[in-house]
């Protein structure tokens, strides 16, 4: 595998269709990595503070719609 600079150089030579395909792949890869990290963090309890905060807000009647609803 080449360096990032070599990969960037190769990308510069791609046609539109191949560049679009690469971009779609990169976005899907990034989203997949993010989802796996979120699932791992949730399973390890690292997001419990968010659930606890939301539960406290719910019990206090202080939850707001998100995104905010236009009034």
Q: What is the pLDDT of residue 1?
A: 65
Q: Are 2 and 10 in contact (CB under 8 A)?
A: yes
Q: Cβ neighbours of residue 47 under 8 Å, at least 6 residues apart?
A: 38, 41
First to last CA, the chain: 54
**CB of 59 closer than 8 Å to CB of 52:** no
Kindly report the CA angle at 34 between 49 and 7, in degrees rounded to 5?
150
Each residue's pLDDT expressed in tens, for the chain with a length of 71 residues: 689 999 999 999 999 999 999 999 999 999 999 999 999 999 999 999 999 999 999 999 998 888 877 65
| pTM flag (> 0.75) | no
């Amino acid at each position: 595998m080449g360096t990032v600079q070599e990969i960037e150089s190769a990308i510069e030579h791609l046609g539109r269709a191949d560049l679009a395909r690469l971009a779609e792949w990169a976005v899907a890869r990034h989203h997949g990595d993010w989802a796996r990290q979120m699932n791992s963090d949730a399973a390890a309890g690292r997001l419990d503070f968010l659930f606890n905060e939301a539960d406290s807000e719910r019990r206090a009647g202080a939850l707001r719609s998100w995104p905010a609803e236009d009034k």
